[in-house]
Structure 1
Amino acid sequence: MISSSDNRLLFILDLLPKEIIFTIFDFLWAHDILYSFLNISNYFNNILLTYQNYHVNFKSILKQQFDLVCRFIRPNQIISLVLSDSNETPSQSKTFLSLFPIEKFINLRAITLSDIENDCHSLFFNIRQLKYLNYFETDTLSHLWMIETISRLKQLIINKYVDNDYNHESLLHSISFSHLRNLTLPYCSYVQLRQILSCASKLTSLNISLIISDCTGIDYFAEQHQETPLIVNHLTMSIQTFTWYVEYNTDDFILYTIPRFVPRTTKHSLLSILPHSTTLPVEQYSIYYDQINELELDSNDKSSYRYTNVQRLILSITKINENIIDLSKVEYLCVKSLSWSLKKLFQIIKTSMTSLYHLKIDFSFSMIQLSDNIYPLEQIRIIDLPQFSCSFKNDNIDLSSLFPCIERLTIGINSLHQMTDIIDRFMHLSSGSFHIMNDHTDINYILTETDTIYKWLIEKTNRLARNRSFTYRLDSRSDIWIHLWISSESTTPEKVLNKMLSGEQLMELRETNGQHNCSRCCSLQ
């Protein structure tokens, strides 16, 4: 802050031209922009209201960040949108599109759909009215009906096929390929490929797994000729090796080059490199080890090498030799061994795993062994406790005192009472997946109607009674799972909460910029 000539405090970033700030915003997600710049000054508030190129990514987003975006941004300001109904964000698409119908996104150029719930397809019906959509990505082929009449689509990405998608292959015939420049499909027959190549005259990037079942198919495909030449500058159809060092994996019968295609996931006990299996000189074996970013330690054997870039670590042993692994790089830790002392484990996490934010304890354990002098593990944001319900005398354990900053939780529990207690104790919790593994008698009566579950959650939890801005999904096809997406009870940083503009102030700023039809963006119930 600096003083101006009239003795007013002037925020130094206010001296930046808005064109420079717009350029910076182009590289950031919408929730990051709002969290970082909202209410730092009136100048920035005006810029946030006039910026027209927001990229909104709601995949795995915290509910609090989702609410902030929905309160502030108008649909016509969004040019790219990512929606996800995963277990971390159940019913997200329905919630968002109930506030902002898809036809309101008049400047939308790109949309990505991930794990969208089956009953939400009708919400996307008007997506075909969008004039500027040129990028569509989805994880299932069944969503293609949404774009079959969009004639100017330039990029289409299908990440994977599910079983039902085999019945929807005919949808490819209804897609307009005339403007398509980038196409990614999880697999493709040579007949479909011939169709795509003949119709997509502007294709420049193609990423497919070509399926040819026999030699006849290969011969047929090889004999085809492209009438209109294509200028494809990025083609991924198969992996070919050139020069570099080569290794042969005797377990999987895979031949690959080093380091380009070397596996990045391995077990320590299987890692010994046999001299006859590679052309890599012994003195350069470190090239191989340096590529490993996911490691399972299932052997206490000593090693002459050191893993320096492991980010995901799975422990199937009862101790860690810090001489063979750099623990400071580990971000995800899964502990499988039943013999681990929690006290010892948490001490290692506290002192050596400074980058760790995701912890999974995949065995039944007793927290009674922990003494009162164990320090809270504040760096942990995600925790998975699949066997917590089987653990000994853990019913009355306050996990929130040991993990005070948890935002995402997956846990096995014995009863609904345990679930409500956890919801009220974890004040930062945004996504919770609860696996009710034992007593189902107290949940049977709330399985009959959806509204009953909603009312029950409000009645039994203080937190959800105070703030009813939450979504959930009940999965009872085999075991009983309840997935919740809730707003944090923690205090929002001062710049977002204590200085939050009121609805009237937001409206005044919008009217100053000649924008009047935005009242529904000012609040989210």
Structure 2
Amino acid sequence: MISFLEVLPTEILFEIFDYLTAFDILYALINLNRRINHIVELYPLQLDFQQISRLKFDFICRYIQPKQIISIYFSDEFMPDQVKLFNKYFPDFHDRFIYLKKIKFINTSTILSNLSINVSSLSIKTYLKTNNTDYFISKILNQQAQYLTFLKVDGSYVFRSINTSFPLLKHLIIDYCTITEFHRILHYFKSSLTHLNIFLDREDNLTILNFEHLSNSLIYLKINFSQEILISFELIKQYLQQLIKLKYLTIEATGTLDLMNGQLWEEYLFEREIKKFNFKFTLSNNFICHQDQNTLLQSFCSSFWIEKQHWYVACEKGEFKSSRPIIYSIPYFQPSLIFYSLNNNLPVTTTNKDIIFKYVNHLILTFYKTIILPNSLFTNVYSLTLLTSNLPSIDILQSIVNLKQIRDLDVSLIENISIDEFYILIDCMINLKNIKMQYNPLFIPPLHIHSYTLIPNDEETFVIDKNNIKKFSYLFFHIKNLEITIQSKDIIIQLLNQLHYLERIKIFCYQDYLLNIKYNWFQQNIPRFNRINFTYRITSSSLFLSIGNTKHVDDETIVTNIKRKTVKCSWHKSCSGCQLQ
């Protein structure tokens, strides 16, 4: 029998693939038949390892074809040692990933030391550096200097041993830099940048910012000044006067009150023919502003801002007259996290407040017994934190936020939570994936929720000890992700021996020293760890562990040649409706 999937043209299948992750594509379709295999291998894959489990990481590495990969994002935050493991799977990485264009190292402890000349986009943000990390960064930047068109780094320190030019570079992002270092970078790079995104910190010599090297090329500028640098409207005009091609401008700064004068900005933006302007200005501690929010926004309510440009502005200011105001573009600088309290103190805006409700992703509700309900519903919140004395009623919560959208729920600061009411709340959150709460032995976790962060109550120092480990393991047998505080290393052993579905666990242990835990310790104390893949990161009081599936290759050896293997059972094949060839 031929399935509908079989007769779809390649172009339609590619359109479907655009909505799926690399793991979804490979797991669902690889080894169904030769035609589907061939189509999957033709599809340009983007590998995003930022929030991946060890199990999925191993699967992807076994079934990808290097020539189909166009971008890779590495991150050690969710799964440690990704770069090292990837290097073991593909020791000849430089020669096999011939169509790779873009690579990101996001909070990794190391980087790949040898990239193809085809890699034109590179992002580097490292942490927990090894002794060789800085050396590898300098090496890779020198290697790729002639080919890069996009470069993002977490600080200007990576360029201190770089004395080469970047002739093709058009897009540069530096998360931290001083003005002096920035001038040095422009001098050596000799790049005709069109896009620049930079954070500038204060230095003692108060160097004047100079954009002369970019005067005839820069079109997009995003600049964030440290709070220690006092900025004024006139100073910004002085800095930008050399950028004659500038059309898109984003500024974040702390400074004088004239930064908040919409009329001054209107005249300047009109004169410079700026096409898009986003800003966030905070009044410096050196100044006092007695104007309220509505008064501060009046100069941003002209026809230029509202009708012609459709540029809208919000203002936040404390209850005291002397409070420092913050004024910013929305939705660009609209906070994704909002505290919604008893007084319903949302920012004042130059447009309908519905825009505030639309762009909030993380909502923190904080009130005691009563609350003023909002005029609109927070419709796009996926993370909800309740800082309340008791669990609010379902009716109140449904009047504030769309509960069906919630994926992450934090009730860890509610001390006396009603378990029955909590079950009702969970039932209303049909997309709930993660729960953070104080551990309650009366709580029976729903089987469809696999991720928990459990904290001890005020009377305890840890969640699990020798007295409750058996009950806990029985109730939470199904969980895949867990963050928890335990009593000792012995409890770690029991926990890992009993929770067989775990993919990721973060353990805090303050009574035992953990730094002496090594790879062999897991294998000696947890028998199944001799048969599965795992990686870990450890400090004196915490252990972060990512657990994979049964080993296909020994982690201690270098993988030189991995071929496709059929891992789906015959039931999977027959249910797919596709013919086997």
Aligned pair partner of 2:492 in 403, 419, 424? 419
Letter aligned with residue 182 of structure 1: H
1:125 deviation in Å?
Answer: 2.6
- The 1-side partners of 2:86 and 2:332 are apart by 41
Do structure 1's residue 463 and structure 2's residue 528 form an aligned pair?
A: yes
How many residue pairs get matched? 451
- The 2-side partners of 1:279 and 1:338 are apart by 33
- The 1-side partners of 2:509 and 2:215 are apart by 60
Q: Which residue of 2 aligns with 1:350?
A: 426
- The 2-side partners of 1:286 and 1:487 are apart by 44
Query: Once superposed, what is the RMSD of the aligned Cα atoms?
Result: 3.6
- The 2-side partners of 1:98 and 1:330 are apart by 38
- The 1-side partners of 2:163 and 2:330 are apart by 42
The more displaced of 297-306 and 137-146 is 137-146
Q: Which residue of 2 aligns with 1:4?
A: none
Alignment of 1:435-474 (within 5 A): 435-440=508-513, 447=516, 453-465=518-530, 467-474=531-538
Q: Which residue of 2 aligns with 1:69?
A: 60
Q: Any conservation in 2 of the 1:245–1:280 contact (CA below 8 Å)? A: yes
Secondary structure of the structure 1 residue equivalent to 2:469: coil
Q: Any conservation in 1 of the 2:386–2:414 contact (CA below 8 Å)? A: no
1:44 deviation in Å?
Answer: 0.8
Q: Any conservation in 1 of the 2:343–2:372 contact (CA below 8 Å)? A: no
CA deviation string 1:181-229 (max 9, x = no partner): 22211134444545556645442322222446699644x637x475644
Unaligned runs of 5+ in 2: 128-133, 221-246, 253-277, 281-299, 306-311, 551-565, 573-579
Q: Any conservation in 1 of the 2:477–2:498 contact (CA below 8 Å)? A: no
Residues 1:13 and 1:290: Cα distance change in structure 2 (over 3 Å) = closer
Letter aligned with residue 545 of structure 2: L
- The 1-side partners of 2:151 and 2:469 are apart by 51
- The 2-side partners of 1:211 and 1:319 are apart by 44
Aligned pair partner of 2:151 in 149, 156, 179? 156
Secondary structure of the structure 1 residue equivalent to 2:160: helix
- The 2-side partners of 1:261 and 1:289 are apart by 14
Secondary structure of the structure 2 residue equivalent to 1:187: strand
Q: Any conservation in 1 of the 2:106–2:125 contact (CA below 8 Å)? A: yes
Q: Any conservation in 2 of the 1:262–1:291 contact (CA below 8 Å)? A: yes
Q: Which residue of 1 aligns with 2:452?
A: 383
CA deviation string 1:60-108 (max 9, x = no partner): 212221121122224333221222222x312222122012123233332
1:175 deviation in Å?
Answer: 5.3
Do structure 1's residue 204 and structure 2's residue 194 form an aligned pair?
A: yes
Residues 1:134 and 1:488: Cα distance change in structure 2 (over 3 Å) = same
Q: Any conservation in 1 of the 2:464–2:485 contact (CA below 8 Å)? A: no
Letter aligned with residue 23 of structure 2: H
The more displaced of 284-293 and 104-113 is 284-293
- The 1-side partners of 2:81 and 2:537 are apart by 7
Q: Which residue of 2 aligns with 1:498?
A: 569
Secondary structure of the structure 1 residue equivalent to 2:196: strand
Q: Any conservation in 1 of the 2:250–2:279 contact (CA below 8 Å)? A: no
Q: Which residue of 2 aligns with 1:431?
A: 504
Q: Any conservation in 1 of the 2:391–2:418 contact (CA below 8 Å)? A: no
- The 2-side partners of 1:106 and 1:500 are apart by 36
Q: TM-score, normalised by structure 1?
A: 0.74
Alignment of 1:87-486 (within 5 A): 88-101=78-91, 102-104=93-95, 105-117=97-109, 120=110, 124-127=112-115, 130-140=116-126, 142=134, 144-145=137-138, 146-150=140-144, 151-158=146-153, 160-161=154-155, 166=157, 168-171=158-161, 173-174=162-163, 176-194=165-183, 199=189, 201-211=191-201, 217-218=207-208, 221=210, 224=212, 226=214, 228-232=216-220, 235-238=249-252, 239-240=278-279, 243=305, 244-250=312-318, 253-257=325-329, 259-269=331-341, 272-273=344-345, 278=348, 284-300=352-368, 301-305=370-374, 307-309=377-379, 310-317=381-388, 318-322=390-394, 323=396, 324-326=399-401, 327-337=403-413, 339-341=415-417, 343-344=419-420, 346-361=422-437, 363=438, 365-367=439-441, 369-370=442-443, 374=444, 376-387=445-456, 390-391=462-463, 395-399=468-472, 402-403=475-476, 405-440=478-513, 447=516, 453-465=518-530, 467-476=531-540, 479=541, 481-486=542-547
Q: Any conservation in 1 of the 2:279–2:329 contact (CA below 8 Å)? A: no
- The 2-side partners of 1:352 and 1:432 are apart by 27
Secondary structure of the structure 2 residue equivalent to 1:203: coil
- The 2-side partners of 1:340 and 1:397 are apart by 24
Letter aligned with residue 447 of structure 2: E
1:156 deviation in Å?
Answer: 0.8
Q: Any conservation in 2 of the 1:428–1:488 contact (CA below 8 Å)? A: no
